[in-house]
Structure 1
Amino acid sequence: MSVAVTPAAAHLGMLLWAVLVGLSFPAVGLMSELPPLSLTALRFAIACGALWWLARRSPGFLPSWRLLPLYALMGLCLAGFFGAMFWAAHHATALSMATLYVTVPLLAFLLGLGLRVERPGWRLPAVLALGALGALGLAVAEAWQQGGRLRFGVGEAVFFLGCVSTALYPVLSKWGLATGRLPASAAVRTFWSLGAGGVLIGLVGLAVEPLGVLATMSARDLALLVYLGLFSSALTFWLMQRATAALTPGVVTAYGYLVPFVSMLLLFVQSPARIGWAWLPGSLTVLVAMGLLMRRERPEAPAG
């Protein structure tokens, strides 16, 4: 039997989510250069393996055939984002991608309005815009330090479609919960959506990547892959699904604003001399926005 998640517990879980996602980037940077789509499919497979025992013991583990299209669409959202991100990484600047990613919470809010899982109003969009401004400030501070530049081309357009895709994932989850289509267990929802996304990403990887390179994976690469599968995929997506039951999609995705803040803290620990005053405005703005979000603990939005 599933235990109801309070908004306070959901917020705490998403704080942990932001820390885990922020820690995953250094782990990825330690890995050898391997086919990214195939690695993501393997990460999702490891995550599903970790979730199997918990999910299979939960009510509604085996979905009905009517539910399969929804899980497939949720998996397509994951595959679309990761596919767009890996392709755009070779055709867009890091600053452009970081700038576009701050639109995800606002996109989730607008998509949520369309499916009636967000309440109309100005307060949440205003807080999301404040958080986006702070996250953008952190991205600009990092790019200024590294000499990056902002532009918009084909790579940025593809990545923006990926941002729309990832914003739609929690909206579909919330809509499925609100309409009684998805089960109450966060583990079940995470298992099937990650499974569907992993299959789709894996098929694309089979078609476009040299899989023979995976044979060169070292023991360290394998250990990092297992870590990413368990903590950066299984646990983070479970935390997101758990929070979706108590919070709206816009609030859930807004925790992505904290990821560059966590990365900044890691940079400060590793190289204190690289942190300057340019990081302060964005950091303070993000913290203020997240504080305002945590105070907005109100009942769930009405179902469509």
Structure 2
Amino acid sequence: MHQTRSPAFSPTFTAHASMLFWALLVALSFFAAAEVNPGLDALPLTAVRLLLSGSLFLPFLLLRRPQRLGGRALIAHALLGGLLALYFGSLFEALKHTKALDTALLYVSVPLLTLGGERLLLGKPVLQRLWPTLVAALGALALLGLDNANFDAYAYGLYGIGCLAMALYGPLSQRLKPWLGEARGAASLACGNLLAGGLLLVLACTLGQRWEGLQGIAARDFGWLLYLALTATLATFWLLHRAIHWLPPATVIAYSYLSGLFALLLQSFWLHRAPAPLAWVGAMLIILGIAWLARLSPARAVAA
């Protein structure tokens, strides 16, 4: 008798469930990052964080049969790691000139830009997924409070380049899959990209003489850095690479809108402060947009 696999345990369903957990980890990282000494230079901190995250993958990968990386695989990791370095570098430079809220508002564009990256790099149809992504994006703008934004041309221009780099990360990783190796798993791919990004940031910090910004780092700061490396970097990039194996990159990145929703709920719970009515409207639009995207994914998986 032929047995069919239950949809509840299909790879597509598992990918969506893992991205819900991903969004929660990202939301928790906002609170953890706030515990790190703000006087420390964020750029070398991120270089250490990426290198630490990539290195933590290595023991698990060494338990399996090691895979030799060819020249094309190393070039692909350098390109993808460069996108990560460009994103984080532009973010921290932009935060010197504007508020975190303003960068969060600009990040809303990343899933929409990822749709463009899918169309350009992968040749995939994206119009059907554009509308639910726009709904979720409008919800995120309402949630964050667009009226509180302060436009800074330099910060927005610089971080806009970083957002474009992050938007291209998912589609380009799919386009370079033949270079990276079709059989390689999510842990191996994330490890290579994080290490490459970390090394590029180390080079930038060395050339810019930024390592002095870590003077005075305490054990408590390193503890929070280790937590961020484990949960908000290692786990999130592993989950992201697992998900884009089954879901379109733009759908995966759209779950970042839920991170803002989770952060709002966590903040409301800890601070006992009720969100504004507009925030609840934004939350409902985010849930509607993500549910709409999830509804479209099974059809896409069958078509693929």
TM-score normalised by the chain length of structure 1? 0.90
Q: C-alpha separation between the residues in 1 aligned to 2:156 and 2:179?
A: 35
Partner of 2:167: 167
Partner of 1:298: 299
Cα 1:130/1:193, change in 2 over 3 Å = same
The structural deviation recorded for 1:15 is 0.8
Partner of 1:289: 289
Matched, 1:30 2:29: no
The structural deviation recorded for 1:218 is 1.2
Q: C-alpha separation between the residues in 2 aligned to 1:301 and 1:237?
A: 25
Partner of 2:227: 227
Cα 1:5/1:66, change in 2 over 3 Å = farther
Partner of 2:149: 149
Q: C-alpha separation between the residues in 2 aligned to 1:93 and 1:213?
A: 20
The structural deviation recorded for 1:175 is 1.7
Cα 1:107/1:5, change in 2 over 3 Å = farther
Q: C-alpha separation between the residues in 2 aligned to 1:290 and 1:216?
A: 43
Q: Which amino acid aligns with 1:37?
A: L
Q: C-alpha separation between the residues in 2 aligned to 1:106 and 1:293?
A: 13
Secondary structure of the residue aligned to 2:122 is coil
Q: CA RMSD in A?
A: 2.3
Partner of 1:195: 195
Partner of 2:259: 259
CA contact (8 A) 2:108 2:140 kept: yes
Q: C-alpha separation between the residues in 2 aligned to 1:243 and 1:178?
A: 18
Partner of 1:56: 62
The structural deviation recorded for 1:88 is 0.5
Q: C-alpha separation between the residues in 1 aligned to 2:254 and 2:53?
A: 23
Structure 2: runs of 5 or more not aligned: 1-8
Q: Which amino acid aligns with 1:186?
A: A
1:44 to 36, 47, 50: 50
Matched, 1:130 2:131: no
Matched, 1:16 2:17: no
Q: Which amino acid aligns with 2:299?
A: R
TM-score normalised by the chain length of structure 2? 0.90
The structural deviation recorded for 1:179 is 7.6
Partner of 1:81: 87
- Residues 156-165 or 90-99, more deviating: 90-99
- Residues 214-223 or 284-293, more deviating: 214-223
